[in-house]
A and B are shown apart, each in its own frame.
Chain A
């Protein structure tokens, strides 16, 4: 799959998520991210990182809701409002998490025009850090368990954080050294096998842009179903068109996987 299509998918998923606080839109969108991750994740350790994004998403909801406690008087509406805002952020995180497992950060880098090479490199490195860090977390947790230290406890957190950050740092330096030693950033660049924008990429793009258009139209048209009323707490309405737009974002999961262009060996 063309990396540009994935980039578009993640951007559109994120855009749709931030337009709404309606749980009947946000939860299906969460499911869509999950389905796409399950169907399209690349093999390797970064596939596991999705779970961590789910956990962080759940933490976001809890933290945002807990902030209500600082209000002078608490009503049910405050809690609902906070939880939904948390949920919106969580969905954004999970969409990003799914993007992380399906895309190749350096594939994106290879797409970038020369002029934007440096910022694209920074972005690719940043994108690759999340999965690397998450893989490191499980290695370190296990290593500490081997000596009887449970890093789940707060006071042992340093035993988790220090090795994760240090090995992450060392790996980043090795990667940067290796890229430079292999001529990265020398100027004129050629492409070995340019990624082809196939019918899959087109299909996904149409679905994604369609979804964003529907969401944008709803936003501009003040569609009442986008926000859930918290004072008083009332279940929101659901527009079938919006739901269809969200379901359309799951297109990558239903397309047959791309065949390798060469004959099987």
Chain B
């Protein structure tokens, strides 16, 4: 018995990878579809709204995949993820809040809200790395 990671966690990791790959592929597909239809077919407003909301579906799938993975982790790993999530919440909301004022008052260039999810993913990864290193 010399496994680094329990078998249940390994299976959870495999499900996580599959879910994230599927969500990533769907995301690329929906964005490509939206860009193509909007640029080449001048669709009605209702269809533009539908196309604009489609990328939220793979984002929801990512969230579901992550929650399933989170529940399969052991209690210590869950603590690391939860601490990283709290730090991410604080950093991203504070950054968005502060930049909002900079945009409104100081004329800083507009940053689309679309960048919130990538910012969350990157900040979460970096936070998890630092939280994990604290317990080493």
A binds B: no
